[in-house]
Structure 1
């Protein structure tokens, strides 16, 4: 599984790279702040909402610490998606939130 650190993702956003971020945390966690522009799909709903994602794009998966996003990567990879796990998750995130 491909991985990026939170700092690498933040740097890519600062450089205005076109990123597709998917936050798989629960609603109450996201309410406390998420990376600007990230799509919110709780891990428990990902299997039922993956049709909303485009297989031609690469997605960076985000959660609190990197565990759930790792499971999300496994699920999406097994269904033909290109994904990267943000290691360390929001616990390591020092960038802006919304």
Structure 2
């Protein structure tokens, strides 16, 4: 039985964005992120996470982001099972009201 995936609301993330507390990782496809990403987010397509695991740091806290929260939930689950400290952005980019950068 895996542990519960922690969620963070878009409002919480927006408040903490400048603090540097979280590393935001957008797991959407290239054409989706072309429409805008959360400022400072790193783009790692969901399917490439296993081979890019060495880019993640177990001492950091990550927030995983996708369009609606489903793919980022899967990414969060995978990373958590591999010993990483992760949160899933509740509602994904559909709920994000903050700034986006192209």
TM-score, structure 2 as length reference: 0.91
Match of 1:84 in 2: 87
1:23-59 Cα offsets, whole Å, 9 max, x none, are: 0000000000000100000001011111111111110
Structure 1 runs of 4+ aligned residues shifted over 3 Å read none
Q: 1:69 aligns with which of 45, 69, 72?
A: 72
What is the aligned length? 96
Unaligned runs of 5+ in 1: none
C-alpha displacement at 1:17, in angstroms? 1.2
Give, in angstroms, the shift of residue 21 of structure 1. Answer: 0.3
What is the SS of the residue equivalent to 1:7? helix
1:11 deviates by 1.5
CA RMSD of aligned residues (A): 0.7
Unaligned runs of 5+ in 2: none
In structure 2, C-alpha distance between the alignment counterparts of 1:47 and 1:76, rounded to whole Å: 9
- TM-score using structure 1 length: 0.95
